[in-house]
Structure 1
Amino acid sequence: DTDPAALRKFVANMAPLGFDITIATSAADAVRGADVITTCTADKANATVLTSDLIEPGV
């Protein structure tokens, strides 16, 4: 999330469910080594989250 407060809230809300959450510092860090990638955003100004160069072959 680009909003640090929203990110902290998300992590706090997910913690009781037992999710292991790692906060990435960039989109590239977030998708590196991923088997599956999904995104969602309501921010039209920053709607492009990933570019094709960030997605590894086979994903």
Structure 2
Amino acid sequence: MDANGYRFLRSCCGVDAWWEESLMVFTMNESAAVKLARQFGQKAFVYLDGRRVWLVYV
């Protein structure tokens, strides 16, 4: 868990020479995810709402 109480998993994904670290954060709502993405300079993230998968641009 992080300081805000969110459970998360670290991962690394990529192909050939391109790899990047990522996190899967559980139970975070979309507005909190947007705020976190902006804080870390992300351009987009994948969000699951329990029914669908969304690509959210920040």
- Shorter-normalised TM range: under 0.3
Pick the structure with more strand per residue. Answer: 2
Greater relative contact order (CA < 8 Å, ≥ 6 in sequence): 1
Structure-2-length-normalised TM-score: 0.28
Greater radius of gyration (CA) = 1
Pick the structure with more helix per residue. Answer: 1
